[in-house]
Amino acid sequence: MKAIIGKPLNRVDGEIKVTGRHLYPSDMWEDGTLLLGLKRSVHPHAIIKRVDTQEASKVDGVVRIFTYKDISGTNRYGVVHKDQQVLAEEKVRYIGDAICLVAATNREALKEAIDKIKVEYEVLPAVFDPVEAMKENAPKIHKSGNILQHTTVSYGDVEKGFKESDIIIEGSYSVPFIDHTPMETEAGFAKMQDGKITVWAGTQTPFRDRKEISKALGIPEEKIRVIAPFFGGGFGRKDGITVQIYLALAAYILKRPVKIYYSREESIQTSYHRHAAVMYYKTGAKRDGMLTAVQARLIFDTGAYASFGGEVMSLGVEHFAGPYRVPNSRVDGYAVYTNNIIGGAMRGFGVPQVTFAFESQMDKIAKALNMDRWEIRYKNALEHGDKTAIGHTLIYSTGVKRTLKKVRESNLWKGKDKLIAESTPFKRRGWGIACSYQGGGLGVGIPDFAEAKVELLPSGRYRVYGGISDMGQGNTTGYVQIASAALNAPVEMIEYTTPDTDRTLDSGPSAASRTTYIYGKALLGAIELLKDEILQVAAEKLSCPKNSCKLIDDRVESDKGTIHLSEIYKLLPEKKRVSTFYVDMPISKDRRDIGSGLPHIVYAYATHLAVVEVDILTGKVRVIGYCSVSDVGKVINPPVFEGQVEGAVAQGIGAALTEGIKLKDGLALNNNFTTYIVPTAVDVPQIEVIAVESAEPTGPFGLKGTGEINVDAPPAAVVSAIENAVGVRVSSLPVSPEEIIKSIEVEDAIP
């Protein structure tokens, strides 16, 4: 029955979604529901002098306009630093800070009321460049100063390393804010139910939300219930508070059902985003390509609020030198406040930024030494037992070399020369390569656990109480497969419950490539305990040794007879029908004290190969071939895995070629899908997806995590291919056609 692991299984949530029976958070509605909306700041930095809601209140259909004065709690939230206000008190720090929450019976009234709220501001000087913001005399956004966090890690002796090197390569790189572009924007529904504020929301963190709502509003946690149904995508954007507190506040005070959803424009301007960053690198190597030292300075723009700014930057610091042996290193990371939109969690969490920079450096070294780009990576690639560039030891499965070996067996590798030979005078082709690695879990020092719950039902079926949100990535299907395998029962016997703070147990965020790994691990433990109780009671009933009893489908069999699970249900005391099991994420054995949230220890690895075609007349780049080889441990469900890889690569190609929020004085100019260009099926080639499946002893059935690893390498692989095609090395994302045309030498351009 273990055969279900590694086999395709249709999404358990597939049917209800494609038939429209599933209610997404933005679908929820019942009679009498009020619509909620927000009056937001139009200035990036200002003092609020006066808020006048009088005229707005008179709009027909408006039920209530809330300001911060209606909030009895702290009015603050934030994952690590509680620096965001539910409703602004006296200051706004970016274009989009919420000032008033409006509840109305219809959308027109809501819009009219929001327009009619008058806010008088005293506009303050603002700062939009993180390098400027770090300066002494920059406008101060928070009392604590503009540097949210500075993390320095060194290992070995970087000066000595550079002295021993034969060449030194320096480079500067920059990347913009990136939007997650989930299909469903921030949305939710709430009402009072059984005396509790009950919030249904698109959220990656229902348990943390409950705490945040409780503190911000001054309402005990026992009075709050947060439910996370399947929702339409998150990618980190919903890792924390978006609409949840507004819903809870309005439902609690108005005692009516309430609903909110953001327009795409509102969402892009006010959500969390992948951090913009500027990065300076210096890399030393021997003549044979062996790295001797790497030094870097990373500046991450966290915008107006902290969110995960320090933590994202910390992951940049941890992964700053890629999956390579670097005996001497030093990295300085800064997370800096500006009056821009907010930087936060996004798939990759700091790693996409540094992967672009560091892999570009690897290419430059290869070029300077006239080495093959594959070879320099293979020579330096980390192995089990090696120390990383920040000096911690890789104690678990370490598959980067396997991905490098395997990429050479791919169809794309074997066919790339032929593809490239088809270049035409104005359409030049080239190939590029990049490696990456991605730590799973929240890192040393941050509580990182899961607690699974599984129940034997009266019918003899089982129910898995999934404690981690499924935003569409398919983890629920993974849990059902794991349960099916471990219980030796067909998937039809497994029911599931999505996260609900009243029914499931806190298992942390749906984030950090941890979701299936850690909950799956906890689930295996809970099942083992439940099985033991089932077999124990069966053995007693059948008067035979426990180890002669076997759980098969819906029954226990032994030489002495068979008992159906519905019978077992009756024999088990109530308490023993439910089993729970708690696990902590494994942490690094060394370097536990270099910061918070780093290092990690269970890593996924990838090698990506891209073939591009550059139109040298327009500068337009087309990705015409792509192969991802990744080591995510055992693949539980191949189609789900392939979907994760394809989505991540597409997102990475977007980051390489078209995406990036264009900001003008803190305002997103490209705030919808007409101007913020996400690659479509036409822009992404067929992706060759390969898994090397290293055995990971700590993971459930050997699984690691698939969520993020494949989003890191695409920009570096594409940029590598562009240089291979036209000799232009791009150091700023997204790739600008103008820059390409400008950089191509005239004699090169005319064949």
Q: Of the two residues 64 and 406, which places its CB atom closer to a copy of itself in the complex? A: 406
- Shortest CB 602 distance to a copy of itself, Å: 12
Q: Of the two residues 58 and 550, which places its CB atom closer to a copy of itself in the complex? A: 550
The tokens of 523 are what?
């689930």
Q: Does 380 bind a copy of itself (CB under 8 A)?
A: no
CA separation for the pair 320, 331 (Å, rounded): 8
Which positions from 520 through 579 interact with a copy of itself, judged by CB under 8 A? 524-525, 528-529, 531-532, 536, 546-547, 575, 579
Q: Report the length, in residues, of the chain.
A: 751
Q: Of the two residues 17 and 546, which places its CB atom closer to a copy of itself in the complex? A: 546
Among 58, 255, 384, 408, binds a copy of itself (CB under 8 A): 384
Among 441, 466, 472, 586, binds a copy of itself (CB under 8 A): 586
Q: Of the two residues 135 and 589, which places its CB atom closer to a copy of itself in the complex? A: 589
The tokens of 32 are what?
């009498």
HEC letters along 532-591: HHHHHHHHHHHCCCHHHCEEECCEEEECCEEEEHHHHHHHCCHHHHEEEEEEECCCCCCC
Per rule CB under 8 A, count of chain residues that contact a copy of itself? 36
Among 16, 669, 695, 750, binds a copy of itself (CB under 8 A): 695
Among 60, 288, 383, 492, binds a copy of itself (CB under 8 A): 383
Q: Does 385 bind a copy of itself (CB under 8 A)?
A: yes
Q: Of the two residues 444 and 653, which places its CB atom closer to a copy of itself in the complex? A: 444
- Shortest CB 398 distance to a copy of itself, Å: 9
CA separation for the pair 13, 252 (Å, rounded): 31
Q: Of the two residues 384 and 742, which places its CB atom closer to a copy of itself in the complex? A: 384
Which positions from 234 through 273 interact with a copy of itself, judged by CB under 8 A? none
Q: Taking a C-beta distance cutoff of 8 angstroms, is the pair 201, 247 a contact?
A: yes
The tokens of 277 are what?
């960053």
Which positions from 442 through 481 interact with a copy of itself, judged by CB under 8 A? 449, 451
CA separation for the pair 59, 55 (Å, rounded): 7
- Closest C-alpha to 205, from 510, 413, 531, 439: 510
- Closest C-alpha to 326, from 444, 150, 162, 174: 162
* Contact string 25-64 vs a copy of itself (x = CB under 8 A): ----------------------------------------
- Shortest CB 232 distance to a copy of itself, Å: 33
Q: Does 395 bind a copy of itself (CB under 8 A)?
A: yes
Which positions from 593 through 622 interact with a copy of itself, judged by CB under 8 A? none
SS3 state of residue 273: strand
Phi, then psi, of 108 in degrees rounded to 5: -65, -45
Phi, then psi, of 623 in degrees rounded to 5: -85, 120
Burial class (CB in 10 A: 0-12, 13-18, 19+), 131: middle
Which positions from 698 through 737 interact with a copy of itself, judged by CB under 8 A? 698, 702
Distances (CA, A) of 505 to 231, 389, 464, 574: 19, 37, 11, 18
Q: Of the two residues 33 and 536, which places its CB atom closer to a copy of itself in the complex? A: 536
How far does Cα 467 stand from its chain's mean position? 17
Which positions from 400 through 429 interact with a copy of itself, judged by CB under 8 A? 402
Q: Residue 33 has what DSSP assignment?
A: P
Phi, then psi, of 437 in degrees rounded to 5: -145, 160
Q: Of the two residues 702 and 714, which places its CB atom closer to a copy of itself in the complex? A: 702
Q: Does 693 bind a copy of itself (CB under 8 A)?
A: yes
CA separation for the pair 130, 324 (Å, rounded): 29
Among 58, 697, 748, 751, binds a copy of itself (CB under 8 A): 697
Q: What is the DSSP string of 643-660?
A: HHHHHHHHHHHHHHHT--
Q: Of the two residues 202 and 586, which places its CB atom closer to a copy of itself in the complex? A: 586
The tokens of 313 are what?
């930057």
The total of other beta-carbon atoms located within 10 Å of residue 419's CB is: 16
Q: Does 118 bind a copy of itself (CB under 8 A)?
A: no
Q: Of the two residues 196 and 546, which places its CB atom closer to a copy of itself in the complex? A: 546
Q: Does 131 bind a copy of itself (CB under 8 A)?
A: no
CA separation for the pair 522, 499 (Å, rounded): 15
Return residues touching a copy of itself (CB under 8 A): 6, 383-385, 393, 395-397, 402, 449, 451, 524-525, 528-529, 531-532, 536, 546-547, 575, 579-584, 586-587, 589, 693-695, 697-698, 702
